[in-house]
Amino acid sequence: MLHEGQTVAPLSADRAALAQLHGDNDVREILRQLAQDYESMAMQLAALPEEGLGERLKAYDNHDRFTFGRALTRKVKGRALRNGWFHKNRLQAVRPGDSSQFPGEPFFLSANPGVRAAVERSVEILSEDLADEEEALVSVYCHRVLLRPGSRYIGFRHRDAKVREKCGTCAWYPRIDAEKVDGVTLFCKLPEPGLSEKELRAREPELRFPPAEYREKLMVMRYPFNLFHGVEPGEHRQPAESGRERRLADFFHPRPDDFIKDLLIVTLSEEPTFED
């Protein structure tokens, strides 16, 4: 598997391996299944009453992100994760009364074979660096980002867990309409001993991935480094459509000119990683 990131400063082989894109045949097959799962989930969500669906819009991404489903496991030891514990147990809500659960059977992945395959592969990758007796939990998030013509995407910059918490992330991208936007570049900053959080945030990213580069790929950010990453601002290439309103239904039935980015995020972490 090749590392496809663009660097702005020399990186040691070890540091560069902390964040990599993958796109082998197994990854592509899982992404194909994921794309089908997204279509199925969109149909299920479209059939639900609109009341309450607005709570799935994520404020931290300027309400351009809609959650198709999310869930997590309880804490599990590394040895158990590697020995198939995950395959035999249900997921659970990220918090009591969560309004962003998967449609249908929210805590079983059997209805979404692509999601299940992506989660299993992600756990396999991320748990490689989890000690046998070390405990962590697995979180699963399916999101869709939508930009209408004339819209600007403000981007985001964050870690998937708190600064000093251990975390690793696999992000799967079955669909990105790269030809419809300028910007929307995925970036990652790599750790450096002695660098403060403030200094890290001020530094230019070592790795940048334009949309066409991470489309239909898997991004792996290794456990336990909890890398600082995000997406830089961008904008839709086409002008706004006169009189068009923002509607939740667009997330289920996007128009041909809408920009869509589907992403499945799997984290392995000390504590839950969800955001609203």
Q: Give the residue extent of every domain in the chain.
A: 6-240+253-269
Average pLDDT (216-229) is 97
Closest residue by Cα to residue 258 from 103, 6, 64? 64
The residue ranges of DSSP E strands in 56-154, in sequence order, are 65-72, 76-77, 135-147, 152-153
Average pLDDT (165-183) is 97
Residue 224, classed as helix, strand or coil, is coil
pLDDT at 124: 94
Q: Is the pLDDT of residue 86 over 50?
A: yes
Specify the pTM: 0.93
Rank 79-88, 188-197, 249-258 by mean pLDDT and report only the highest.
249-258
Closest residue by Cα to residue 269 from 227, 226, 230? 226
pLDDT at 243: 87
Taking all residues of the chain, what is their mean pLDDT, rounded to a whole number?
91
pLDDT at 226: 97
Cross-strand pairs, 263: 143
Question: pLDDT class for 4, splitting at 50, 70, 90?
Answer: very low
- What CATH class has 6-240+253-269? mainly beta
Could you tell me whether strands 181-183 and 156-158 are parallel, antiparallel, or unpaired per DSSP bridges? unpaired
Name the strand (E) or helix (H) holding 82. helix 78-82
pLDDT at 89: 58
Question: pLDDT class for 8, splitting at 50, 70, 90?
Answer: very low
* CB count in 10 Å sphere of residue 223: 24
Give the tokens for residue 200. 């890290």
Give the tokens for residue 150. 């004339």
- The predicted-structure confidence for 100-145, as pLDDT tens digits, reads as follows 999 988 888 788 999 999 999 999 999 999 999 999 999 999 999 9
Residue 19 neighbours by CB under 8 Å, 6+ apart: 5, 188, 190, 207, 219, 220, 221, 222, 227, 229
- Dist. CA 248–CA 221, nearest whole Å: 31
Average pLDDT (139-158) is 96
Per cent of the chain over pLDDT 70 is 94
Per cent of the chain over pLDDT 90 is 80
